[in-house]
Structure 1
Amino acid sequence: MVFTIDILASESMGARSMSTFLKSTNLSMIIDPGVELAPKRFNLPPHQIEINKKEELWLKIEKYLKKSDLVAITHYHYDHYNPLATDLLKEKTLFMKDYNIYINKNQKNRADILLKNISRINKSEKPSIIIADGKELDLEDIHICFSSPVFHGVNARLGYVIQVFVSDGEKGFLFTSDVEGPSTDEQVKFVIEKSPDILFVDGPMTYLLGRSYSYLALERSIENLENIMSDTNVKEIIIDHHFMRDLKYRDKIERLYDYSEDLGVKILSAAEFMREENNLLEARRKELYARDRYA
């Protein structure tokens, strides 16, 4: 038995997300069931095409969330969970990033609101909440391991996230959440220890390169991904989310693509993994507005 992996939404599919659905014979799990749009990009608000796409992707996430037994929330940014969708969490097992430690003020406030909304659910239907940080457990036919908290990015400014590894004994899948690279040793350590067959990583923030994302962080990310390829059993690396906010994404890590070919490792976007066409709407926002002006 090999579990199935469906990436439900991502930047390569048209909106900010990493929402992923996993299905084994006995259990189903959704990781980070949220989708959002950049409030400003190129000094422009979301285009109507982006808004429509977000609504379409949320309906898909909602459909899969309803039929999931397990839900994991790796941190409290709105592209990773929906604070207004707590009714969909009824009677589920909810793995949450610890909302009391290794958390910044912004995410703490959001977690408190989420918990308040959950508290309004009837007692008999309340989700079973498990603080996931560092937990490792076997459920039915799958093994789940959550990392200890790691930086959301290169430091603690944006808070912390937890990474998720799921295996059925035949195939391992690892979801990095928002590590922005990975660019730190702690982020990479968990990946190398778990040695997944398939890695879903948010990638370097090349669209902010030279501003809030440094060239040093990019170089470290490339080196770390090279090390992951050489030191683990990984066969496919899905790089999306932060990385797919840049139309010239491939140019920024061309060396990594060359290295992956030498090792026989596939590098894919989430859309490509799902056998869809890339649809980088946020990165094309200026183009969408320009097209309206000349229509």
Structure 2
Amino acid sequence: MKIEILGCESFGARSLACAVKTGEKKILIDPGVALARLRYGLPPHPVEVAAAFRIRNKILVALESVTDIVISHYHGDHMPMKAEDPYQLPVEALPPPEGIRFWCKGPEDISRLSARRRKELSTFLGFPLPNSEGISFDGISFSSPVPHGTKGKGFGTVMMTCVREGDEVFVHCSDIQLLDRGAVLEVLAWKPTIVFAAGPPLYLSHHVPEASKEAFENALLLAESVDTLVLDHHLLRSFGGYRWLKELAGKAENRVFCAAEFMGNKPDLFEAQRAALYENMPVPPGWHEAYARGEADFEGYL
């Protein structure tokens, strides 16, 4: 089994995209990328735009040879979509669907916006999207719906993915945020050797007060039960999240990484640095509008 993480916050933009190669299959999970429209009252810095562009390109390369595409839920950083801004992966980038198996979260317990995006993707592809929740087929299994974050808070649900090859078991946990013990126990029931999950949104801790303590307990349970735990996404939208990850790694006997470290790279927490990026590399008025029109680029900021 070969696992390649294509995008994550530690790569500089919002994503949880990864490709898993097993035998003749190449499974692309959550092929999407996005940038926070506002952070610290500021739009994305061109350095972040460049990071999102790199992730988009990696996803596009992966799409060229894909056999299976998984959509865990219908947020813009997890799926191709009708372009809502110039930083995301447009649905038009998808290859012709013939010969590709799609595995998708069902239509239940999603927001109106997610339902609209699901319908738009279905319309573009030209066939109804399947409800893959709870299905197992040809070495791939999908969870029943699990909470997107804290259960019962109205954030909807997501679908987790398990891929098996020989003794290796990889689980992609999407946006569980480690805030529901039931979801974590469902992960462990698959007996994974490696888990890739969205960590808790500590940058929103004033909205999710239970995030740090409960998620840490769940993360430690995972870290003690799997060979390799990769945590990223919401967690690394702040430097406090990276410190939280290092504290976890210090307590766990097994390997704990962010996505960039797992791929052998240095983490680039550009969203967390947005205010500093603007201070150190000012952006002229109108740059974002010009970029959207194709009249500006990010080369001068690299």
For 2:29, the aligned partner's letter is I
Of the candidates 189, 207, 230, which is equivalent to residue 212 of structure 1? 207
Aligned CA-pair RMSD: 1.9
Contact 2:122 2:129 in 1 (8 A): no
| Structure 2 unpaired stretches of 5+ | 82-89, 284-300
Deviation string 1:104-149 (CA, Å, 9 cap, x unpaired) is 2221121111112222xxxxxx6x95321111112xxxx1111100
Which residue of structure 2 aligns with residue 94 of structure 1?
102
Report whether the alignment pairs 1:259 with 2:267.
no
Cα deviation for residue 218 of structure 1 reads 1.9
Q: Partners of 2:189 and 2:165 in 1: how far apart? A: 16
Cα deviation for residue 10 of structure 1 reads 0.6
Which residue of structure 1 aligns with residue 49 of structure 2?
51
For 1:244, the aligned partner's letter is L
For 1:170, the aligned partner's letter is D
Report whether the alignment pairs 1:168 with 2:171.
no
Cα deviation for residue 256 of structure 1 reads 2.2
**Aligned pair in 2 of structure 1 residues 252, 274: CA closer, same or farther (>3 Å)?**
closer
Of the candidates 23, 46, 58, which is equivalent to residue 25 of structure 1? 23
**Aligned pair in 2 of structure 1 residues 196, 89: CA closer, same or farther (>3 Å)?**
farther
Report whether the alignment pairs 1:106 with 2:99.
no
Q: Partners of 1:168 and 1:25 in 2: how far apart? A: 8
For 2:234, the aligned partner's letter is H
Cα deviation for residue 253 of structure 1 reads 5.1
Cα deviation for residue 235 of structure 1 reads 0.9
Cα deviation for residue 24 of structure 1 reads 1.5
Q: Partners of 2:145 and 2:161 in 1: how far apart? A: 11
Q: Partners of 2:71 and 2:263 in 1: how far apart? A: 22
Contact 1:164 1:174 in 2 (8 A): yes
Which residue of structure 2 aligns with residue 249 of structure 1?
241
Q: Partners of 2:26 and 2:40 in 1: how far apart? A: 39
**Aligned pair in 2 of structure 1 residues 32, 293: CA closer, same or farther (>3 Å)?**
closer
Cα deviation for residue 186 of structure 1 reads 2.2
Deviation string 1:70-107 (CA, Å, 9 cap, x unpaired) is 000000001001113254252111101002x1222221
Of the candidates 189, 196, 201, which is equivalent to residue 192 of structure 2? 196
Contact 1:222 1:253 in 2 (8 A): no
Counterparts of 1:16-165 in structure 2 under 5 Å?
16-83=14-81, 84-86=90-92, 87-91=94-98, 92-99=100-107, 101-119=108-126, 129-138=129-138, 143-155=139-151, 156-165=153-162
Contact 2:13 2:52 in 1 (8 A): yes
Report how many aligned residue pairs link the two structures. 273
Q: Partners of 1:109 and 1:130 in 2: how far apart? A: 15
For 2:176, the aligned partner's letter is V
Contact 2:237 2:271 in 1 (8 A): yes
Of the candidates 221, 226, 242, which is equivalent to residue 227 of structure 1? 221
Q: Which is worse superposed, 105-114 or 81-90?
A: 81-90
Deviation string 1:148-201 (CA, Å, 9 cap, x unpaired) is 001111035221100111110221111100012x11122112111012111101
Structure 1 stretches of 4+ with a deviation exceeding 6 A read none
Contact 1:136 1:144 in 2 (8 A): yes
Which residue of structure 1 aligns with residue 289 of structure 2?
none
Which residue of structure 2 aligns with residue 123 of structure 1?
none
**Aligned pair in 2 of structure 1 residues 48, 95: CA closer, same or farther (>3 Å)?**
same
Contact 1:9 1:17 in 2 (8 A): yes
Contact 2:235 2:242 in 1 (8 A): no
For 1:50, the aligned partner's letter is E
For 1:290, the aligned partner's letter is E
**Aligned pair in 2 of structure 1 residues 254, 60: CA closer, same or farther (>3 Å)?**
closer
Contact 1:107 1:159 in 2 (8 A): no
**Aligned pair in 2 of structure 1 residues 254, 67: CA closer, same or farther (>3 Å)?**
closer
Contact 1:15 1:281 in 2 (8 A): yes
Which residue of structure 1 aligns with residue 277 of structure 2?
288
Which residue of structure 1 aligns with residue 180 of structure 2?
184
Contact 1:167 1:173 in 2 (8 A): yes
Cα deviation for residue 238 of structure 1 reads 0.6
Q: Partners of 1:45 and 1:186 in 2: how far apart? A: 36
**Aligned pair in 2 of structure 1 residues 255, 277: CA closer, same or farther (>3 Å)?**
closer
Which residue of structure 2 aligns with residue 13 of structure 1?
11
